Amino acid sequence: MRDTAAEEREALVEAVRGFANAQLAPFAAERDAQKIFPIEALAAAGELGLGGIYVREEYGSGLSRLDAVAIFEELAKGDVAVAAYISIHNMTAWMIDTFGSVQQRERWLPGMVSMQQLGAYCLTEPGAGSDAAAITTSARREGDEYVLNGTKQFISGAGAASVYVVMARTGGPGPAGISTIVVEKDTPGLSFGPNEHKMGWNAQPTRQVIFEDVRVPVANRLSEEGDGFHIAMRGLNGGRVNIGACSIGGAQWALDRAIAYVQERHAFGAPLAANQSIVFTLADIATDIQAGRALLERAAAKMDSGASDTAVACALAKRFATDAAFDAANKALQLHGGYGYLHEYGIERVVRDLRVHQILEGTNEIMRTIIGRDLLRGGKR
């Protein structure tokens, strides 16, 4: 019996692979070295429907989270940093699609889905990273407007993005006082810090987003006051799976390069592949990649079905996939010897790009906390 869904997903992956091979992979080294944010390539991704992968079909592609896992893995084989930005952009578009009104969806989604307008997710602050409920950026209501003051830290796409989905405090302390407000680029009082000098992710800008008496209509708030923390956490469930898929894609790319290299490179009169320890290393890398992919697919299926343990499944998959992928890429670098350390081979770039995935979308220590606490509460085994 034909598996139509599997065939459609394979055709989709082939299309994304073609885009990654043409628009991302050939320029990844240059974009990393010169810190180029590829606006034109992102617009081309939008033409393929990659700006709203799981935005409902009225505006977006209407695909499943399981489809998204396959898409982000394929994109990351072309360029991890660009794929990761596309995943963040999709998270912001999904938040507007899911929690926005008809008018808000009409206003922002067409430009975001086409990636003519880029999105930025503004949660983290200089003094509030893992403790997201402690954010201090304020949104004081004055009549039909909110007045925002504060600073967001480590914001991907900042300065280049047009739509900023901002978590701000409209009420008292704790998660119940947080709301989600959309701020558009060029709003008076909105500014940006300098581009951060980072270990990796050089193909996307990372800057502070600064609010100084920024006035936006109350109509820019998603959902009700006090819903912001819930919206942010729902967004992060998907973000964690997406970034895990980007990690697996980068690791798979590194493994493919390592497999080719150890068969071509000779030492002591034989190819490196004749060394049993190298064969074992390749086997370990492949096993970890496949395990990470399976956990991500499991979490994606739970998101698609609305399972009660979705958040824990996403945390578990993100923790394993990002740790395993970084380790895999690092081993692939080691298998290349000194050549792995050279920019032209690309392995060191992937290692650098993957390292931050163990930190963002919730550090892996926080993922372990989520998993462990759920087990102690009697969660699903």
For residues 124, 241, 327, 380, the Cα torsion angle rounded to the nearest 10 degrees is 110
CB 202 within 8 A of CB 30: no
For residue 139, what are the β-bridge partners?
A: 148
Active site residues: 361
Q: Could you give the CA distance from residue 356 to residue 176 in angstroms, rounded to a whole number?
A: 29
For the chain, how far is it from start to end, CA to CA, in angstroms? 33
Q: Could you give the CA distance from residue 337 to residue 331 in angstroms, rounded to a whole number?
A: 10
Instruction: Give me the phi and psi of 150, to 5 degrees please.
Output: 145, -175
For residue 206, what are the β-bridge partners?
A: 156
CB 353 within 8 A of CB 81: yes
Q: Could you give the CA distance from residue 188 to residue 293 in angstroms, rounded to a whole number?
A: 44
The Cα-based distances of 221 to 170, 224, 345 in angstroms read 11, 7, 46
Q: Could you give the CA distance from residue 61 to residue 63 in angstroms, rounded to a whole number?
A: 6
Q: Could you give the CA distance from residue 91 to residue 133 in angstroms, rounded to a whole number?
A: 19
Q: Could you give the CA distance from residue 208 to residue 326 in angstroms, rounded to a whole number?
A: 26
Closest by CA to 80, choosing from 360, 355, 361, is 355
DSSP state of 138: E
